Amino acid sequence: MTLEASFFAAPLSRRGVLGGLAGGAAALAMPHIARAAGDKPVLVTSIRSLSNPYHAIWKTGAEAFAQSVGAEHVTLVSEGNSEKGIADIRAMLAKTGGKMVLNSDPNDTPDARPIVEYCVKAGAYVCTQWNKPADLHPWDFNPYYVSHIEFDGVKSGSAITEALIKAMGGKGGIVALGGQISNTAAIERKRGLDQSLKNHPDIQLLDFQVANWKATEAYDLTSSLLTRFGDKITGIWAANDDMGTGALEALRAEGLAGKVPVVGIDGIKAAIDAVKNGEYAATITSDPFWQGGMGLSLGYHAAMKTFDPTAEPKEHREFYGRTMTITKDNVAEYIKTNIDAKPAYDWNDLWGRCEGQIRAS
Amino acid sequence: MATQTNSSSLPQPLTDRAVRRLGRKRITRAALRAYAPVAVLLVLGILIALANPNFIELRNLVRVANAAAVPLTIAMGTTFVILLGSIDLSAEGAVAVGAMVLVLLARNDANTHDFGWLAVLAAVAAGGIMGLVSGLVQTGLRIPSFMATLGTWFIGLGLATYMLGGSAVRLMDPALRGLALNRFAGLPVAVWVALGAFAVAAVIQTQTRLGRHILALGGGEDLAEYSGISPARVRLLAFTLAGLFYGVAGVLAASQLGQSNAVIGDGRLFAAVTAVVVGGTALTGGEGGVFNTLVGVLIVTVLSNGMVLLGVSPYVQQTVQGLMIIAAVALSLDRVRQTIVK
């Protein structure tokens, strides 16, 4: 065993582990010894794609945290393929001998279970965000499954609805563009829309369509919806900013940009500029920069024994993170701190953005 | 497609009667195939207009034309490849590359370039290069078009993702945005560009040697080769031509959305292939053409516009599109001549 341990601590260990399944299996069996070598765990970010701005910012946040603690950082991209996402994580676990911290945005809800189980088996610390099965709980995988972070989609969906209605002057007709229907975020954001609409009888939901989170689909849908409802449309609700900005361009092609307010979620740059120009009533950001950094920070501090996840209350193990609504009132300030400069967050403030335990749905 | 033959498999001359019999049968089938899509388009238009008169408002017809601009341009390229009897899956990748080159070279919010219309030329050329690569891989390495273009699709996506740094870059050149936002004679300029692409494709198909050679190759590659046509050369040209159309489509898509991201082509391959097939171009090659595709694109666009107008549930819409492509292929296949399904 000691022979194996020194083998993995040697400079050639990576090639050795990759050399064969036997090496990989040995590495999986011996995480504690490998960690005893003393240096820092490898920080691993697993996200869906780099072609959406949201995950691209996520990665810059992860890199900022890695730099702040001087640890190696690796990004894995699933390209929307669950098998690839999980296989890449397993390969990283074998390569690092479990001496790693994973911050994962699982491609699909069921993926979270194998991801967590492989990490726990290898002795790697893991945080998940957005997607996990309701019966998978961090406290059942002590101490390795540190936390799961989500953002209250109902609250966000409702907050942009309120902002939209305010911009519409309290009355008129809305068309709504939703995300993929099987997706938790899409379902919750729509629920938020429905909840808010109940309180505003003068607002009519003309139609709800699905644009699959994409600008191109939102563009075509919006122009068809303009035909169907014409001037009855006085506001457009989109479940994300990609669709929101696509809808905005369709409005622009008809000379309606700035006349029909649009809202979305995610806080992408184009949406923020549109808020500044008065074409967009509001967007919400979950702050992917923070998500990318904090998901790693939680795992890193658990791995370095700065805190003991098992001693934390449940509302620190499964929690809603704080979001920020950007409207014309605060857009200038936001651009100054988060876009023109890279935000400087205190990555040691682990629970500063906790907004309570995730409710059982 | 096999090009290797020996003298014993040379086609035997047909008897007069056989030629006449073949000719008569082919003409009626051809006539049916040529007019069925037009009839479908008309019936579809009438049904939708009856259900919702807004459909035939001029404003909506302009919107339909605008929504058809990008698919039409892409489908022009795909048509030539399908006429060859090959398939081109690279459209989404090539469109992404075209849009990426345009946005990064024109005025944008990621770098300081501002090459104006030169960026358009570069974008179209980049699309052409993607097509050329598909053609070279296919003819040089003798890899089936399905795999070759699947490869270039992902090469294109990867390239666009990498060059755009993973985010959406916005197009800030007002003249280029004008392609989508300005109108000429009531129609957005993008529609005129797409019609221009259609005109060019029609001229190539009907008036040039390349057009006839593509049809000949699709009809029977060994025969065409015996008549002195170089299949490799025609293939290279056809794929490059397709790539040029994808480049133009990339320019139009970026100007419509005012931005470019790597997924700007998402879903466009399905729309283009559906349009080509629904228009009546045979997947086996050699039959159909760009006029069929124009009708096919209109059917697909009118149907999706119509389904929104009628308030059809979004989930049913996708199902209808899937059913449509299967139905179109089922109707267009000549099962008598087809003995093996693989």
Q: Is residue B298 part of a domain?
A: yes
Q: Is residue B337 part of a domain?
A: no
Residues of A in contact with B181 (CB under 8 A): 252-253
The pLDDT profile of chain A, 361 residues, written as one tens digit per residue, is 344 444 444 444 444 444 444 444 444 444 443 443 458 999 999 998 776 778 888 999 999 999 999 999 999 998 878 899 999 999 999 999 999 999 999 988 899 999 999 999 999 999 999 889 989 999 999 999 999 999 999 999 999 999 999 999 999 999 999 998 777 789 999 999 999 999 999 999 999 999 888 888 899 899 889 888 988 999 999 999 989 999 999 999 888 999 999 999 988 888 999 999 999 999 999 999 999 999 999 999 999 999 999 999 999 999 999 999 999 999 999 999 888 888 999 999 999 999 999 987 6
Q: Is residue B309 part of a domain?
A: yes
- Minimum CA–CA partner of A54 in chain B: B167
Percent of chain B scored above 90 by pLDDT?
52
Question: By C-alpha distance, which of B101, B171, B165 is closest to B130?
Answer: B101
* Whether pLDDT at B3 is above 60: no
- Residues 231-260 (A) with a CB less than 8 A from some CB of B: 242, 245-246, 249, 252-253
> What pLDDT does A7 receive?
40
Residues of A in contact with B55 (CB under 8 A): 227
Q: Is residue B27 part of a domain?
A: no
Terminal-to-terminal C-alpha distance of chain A: 47
Query: How distant, in Å, are the alpha carbons of A174, A207, A208, A245, B305 from that of A225?
Result: 11, 8, 10, 16, 9
The listed CATH number (3.90.950.20, 3.40.50.300, 3.40.50.2300, 3.20.20.70) that belongs to domain A153-285: 3.40.50.2300
Chain B: closest CA distance from residue A141 (Å): 34
CB pairs under 8 A between A and B: 104
CATH 3.40.50.2300 domain extents, chain A = 40-151+288-321, 153-285
Residues B258 and B260: their CA atoms lie apart, in Å, by 7
Q: Is residue B26 part of a domain?
A: no
Checking DSSP bridges between strand A318-321 and strand B183-184, what pairing results, if any? unpaired
Q: Which residues contact B13 (CB under 8 A, 6 or more apart)?
A: none
More confident residue, B224 or A22: B224
Burial B194-210 (b: 16+ CB within 10 A, else e): bbebbebbbebbeeeeb
Query: How distant, in Å, are the alpha carbons of A142, A291, A320, B278 from that of A313?
Result: 13, 20, 14, 60
> What pLDDT does B317 receive?
81
Q: Which of A57, A228, A253 sits opposite B309 (nearest CB)?
A: A228
Q: Is the peptide bond before A53 cis (omega within 30 degrees of 0)?
A: no
Residues A219 and B102: their CA atoms lie apart, in Å, by 20
CB contact under 8 A, B258 and A252: yes
Contact assessment for residue A228 and residue A197, using Cβ atoms and an 8 Å cutoff: no
Give me A261's structure tokens.
Answer: 């307010």
> What pLDDT does B266 receive?
84
CB contact under 8 A, A53 and B167: yes
Residues of B in contact with A252 (CB under 8 A): 181, 258
Residues A158 and A197: their CA atoms lie apart, in Å, by 9
Chain A: closest CA distance from residue B308 (Å): 6
CATH of the domain at B194: 1.10.3470
Reported as a pLDDT band with limits 50, 70 and 90, residue B220 is: confident
Domain span including residue B158: 33-332
Residues of A in contact with B165 (CB under 8 A): 56
Residues A274 and A271: their CA atoms lie apart, in Å, by 5
Q: Where are the beta strands (DSSP E) in B93-243?
A: 169-170, 183-184, 187-188
> What pLDDT does B328 receive?
77
- Minimum CA–CA partner of B166 in chain A: A51
Give the mean model confidence (pLDDT) for residues B214-232: 88
Residues of B in contact with A264 (CB under 8 A): none
Give the mean model confidence (pLDDT) for residues B239-244: 96
CB contact under 8 A, A270 and B170: yes
Q: Of the ranges A17-26, B6-15, B262-271, which one carries the lowest mean pLDDT score?
A: A17-26
> What pLDDT does A271 receive?
92
- Minimum CA–CA partner of B60 in chain A: A227
Mean predicted lDDT score pLDDT of chain B: 86
> What pLDDT does A80 receive?
78
Chain A: closest CA distance from residue B62 (Å): 10
Q: Is residue B17 part of a domain?
A: no
* Residue type, position A243, single letter: M
A91 touches chain B (CB under 8 A): no
Homologous superfamily in CATH for domain A40-151+288-321? Response regulator (3.40.50.2300)
| Number of domains composing chain B | 1
Chain B: closest CA distance from residue A83 (Å): 18
Among B154, B161, B270, B319, the strongest candidate for a mutation testing the A interface, having the largest count of A CBs within 10 A, is B161
